[in-house]
């Protein structure tokens, strides 16, 4: 198993192709179900911020889930068990990076599954997918 990491945000041109790629996993166009976000660092002249799950080894989102719907993923990050999730949104608040998004239609979090679709569609090598680096924190 691997996880997504951000190589260098200075290479990001803000094209958002990664966001569209993520949403396409669900077979739809648009951006509603994207689990990655690219926005400017206060105006495009200052470059861009990449907001995506970094696959924590010890994820804060998991700790605040009241129904154990979030389970640790072997390679970092979490896996959502849709059945157990009650849509409380605690995980969204707990993520330090703001990298948990929301599916309004299902009223449940949108959580990166580290599939690598975004990496494949980044023409500038901003993102990479790599095996887990276990730093034990």
> Residues interacting with other proteins, by CB under 8 A?
13-17, 20, 23-24, 26-34, 37-40, 42-45, 47, 121, 123-124
CB proximity list for 133: less than 8 A, separation 6 or greater: none
Neighbouring residues of 130: CB distance < 8 A, sequence distance ≥ 6: 2, 3, 5
CB of 17 to other proteins, least distance (A): 5
**Residue 119: what are its φ and ψ, rounded to 5°?**
-60, -45
Task: Give min distance, CB of 126 to other proteins, in A.
Answer: 12
State which residue, 28 or 68, has the beta carbon closest to other proteins. Answer: 28
For the chain, the farthest-separated pair of C-alpha atoms sits apart, in whole angstroms, at: 43
Q: How far is the CB of 135 from other proteins (least distance, A)?
A: 29
Q: Which long-range contacts (CB under 8 A, 24 or more apart) does 85-89 make?
A: 85/109
CB-based contact 57:136 (threshold 8 Å): yes
Shortest spacing between CB 80 and other proteins, in angstroms: 19
Q: By C-beta, is 26 or 96 nearer to other proteins?
A: 26
C-alpha to C-alpha distance for 38 and 52, rounded to whole angstroms: 9
């Amino acid at each position: 198993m691997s996880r997504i990491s951000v190589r260098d945000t200075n290479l990001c041109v803000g094209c958002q192709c990664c966001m569209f790629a993520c949403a396409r996993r669900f077979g739809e166009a648009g951006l509603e179900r994207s689990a990655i976000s690219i926005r400017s660092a206060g105006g495009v002249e200052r470059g861009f911020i990449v907001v995506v799950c970094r696959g924590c080894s010890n994820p804060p989102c998991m700790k605040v889930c009241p129904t154990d719907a979030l389970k640790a993923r072997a390679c970092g990050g979490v896996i959502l068990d849709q059945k157990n999730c009650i849509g409380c949104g605690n995980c969204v608040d707990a993520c330090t990076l703001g990298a948990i998004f929301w599916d309004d239609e299902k009223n449940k979090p949108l959580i990166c599954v580290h599939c690598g679709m975004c990496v494949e569609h980044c023409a500038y090598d901003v993102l990479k997918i790599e095996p887990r680096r276990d730093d034990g924190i």
